[in-house]
Structure 1
Amino acid sequence: MVSKQAAAELVWTDDEPLECVSVLPEAPNVVTVCFQSPSGRPFNFHPGQFITLELPVPGGPLYRTYTISSSPSRPKSLSVTIKAQADSIGTRWIIENLQPGATLKGSGPAGHFTSTQHPAEKYLFISAGSGITPMMSMTTDIYDHGRNCDIVFVNCARRPSEIIFKRRLEHMATRIDGLDLKWVVQEPDPYQPWTGYQGRFNQLMLGLMAPDYLEREVFCCGPENFMQSVREALAGLGFDMERYHQESFHAPQASEAKLIVAPQHHDDLPEMNVMAEINFAGSGITTSCHETETVLAAARSAGVAIPSGCTFGICGSCKIRKTAGEVHMVHNGGITEDEIEEGYILACCSNPRGNVTLEI
């Protein structure tokens, strides 16, 4: 029987440095750095967790936190996939200076953003740019178990050539049933036809990609404005936000290397247990409903006829004028900013907040 202390000594701990064994280019300004422990001890972590690296930059050291892109199902190495932005200091230093054989001090792993804490039969992974890294770790871990899965994997990038792990994921999808890949790009590469989704990720795309999204456990990672748009899209469609998870952490200081910060969402989203009141002034009808109910649904229940079409906020058929009160609206192009300034809303994707008065 192996004691807990003896078992701990069998795996890598952050009292041992990380040895760089390879640096692999993935996409423009993106590399995967693979580490091993000099002692040969395996790594023990949960898919989706992060690690903090101490970087010896001029004037440093500098501490940077990176999500682990490799899977604990392959414990002999640990990889981080990093993208250098225009103002990057630490990441740019890694890309320009780190070579195989060099060592870095690492702290962790840590973090709550992991599928092991939220087991589910169906997953929806939504990411943008380098936010794909924890999704890659979680997907690889599920893939390595050898069982069929049910994952809708959505990644958004500027161009197809900037989609990280595209070939690797497509290979995995040919070897297992249930890995459904969806790529979204802002624009195609020059002289390269693109037949996938194009534009900004929205509710309409979500409905086409994963019609059963209400049944799925959702993990999201990317820039904050991207994650906020995903949260608003899901909340506007009545998704149970208790089943929504996003990567949220702050880079720890040297003395706080194991700091874990639980996700905090500060969106002012509609709530199920809060009531609202809608006054349909032209019809002389007032009705009460939950904030999570759309104006269109409330109107139908009250017997007020509002023309509608797509119900995704794209066709504009349900456009009506609001004369008082506030709504939470997440649309997909069916209304202009000028119309919003004039008080118009789309009933299909607007949730009432408090007391609302409509012309109809």
Structure 2
Amino acid sequence: MKKRILCALGLALLLTGCGSSSYDSSASNKAAQTMAASDMMTEEAADEAASEGVYEYDAVAQGSDTGSGASTAENVQKQVEQGRKLIRRMDIGVETQSFDELLSQIDAKVAELGGYIESSNTYGSSYGYEGNRSADYTVRVPADKMDEMVTMVSENANVTRKSESTDDVTLSYVDTKSRKEALEVEQERLMALMEKAESVDAIIALETRLTEVRYQIQSMESQLRTYDNQVDYATINLSVEEVTIYTPDTQEPKSDLQRMTDGFVTSVKRVLQGIKNFLIDLVIALPYLLIWAVVIAAIVLVIRMIVKKSKKKRERKLAEKMEKLKQQSGQLNAAVEQVMRKEEETDKPES
């Protein structure tokens, strides 16, 4: 009797693998674990499980196994023919001279098409001269409206790069859906057995497998929802850069004269833009320049005062020294005169 119940559970677990041609190896491992767990049932629990109708699950499994491979292949083919599951992605970079206006147009167009902005980041500031702001957008729009969105952006900005990719997930989607349906069938049969089971060991074994099946079903449902979202809504990665001069289109061939003309015009524009930016920066920095001018003027005045005082002090010391020298010179002259007078007095008697 124990061998009979083990065979019944083994065939029941193998039903899921027969219902889907690409059932993965993880499900087979879990089935083996469940069979090993059921082997721990006692003889009494096995007899009770058999009497409660587990053998009916075996009979149903054997009856439904006939022709399951052919029917699964036909279902997959039909689902593929109904419509392919394509995930579209677009990466586009643009330049604009009207940064704020273009961002407003993007927001309005996304709302008009029934999409949404998944993420957006704006860098730089409008403070100062133009040409220092950029933005990165991740936009999700209905797949059939992606071209309309890209056309709007291209008409209102200068496109510098653009790339598109398409992922065909039809086979993965159909395979996941088939596996989910097979697991749902197994879930229903396990629940039917749960209603008939009375043994604690049998109930535990069935609940363990039922929990695993439900977990796999929920995981596959989540994966299918992710596929549906990616298929229904295309992803557009949009980079916007503010510039004053558009990058020339290098894809179109140009003559030498045209290249020289375009280069000269571009150089003139850049020179004028440089002068404009300098004047703007000068006006912006004017308050700082005034403050620095006041500070420098104050420092110069202090230095001049210090130099002036030092000069006066030196002049005063020099005058004092000159006065002392004059006094010393006067005393010396007086002494010389006295000496000369004495010599004259001594010379007179002798004569």
Larger radius of gyration: 2
TM-score, structure 2 normalization: 0.20
Structure having greater relative contact order (Cα 8 Å, sep ≥ 6): 2
TM-score, structure 1 normalization: 0.19
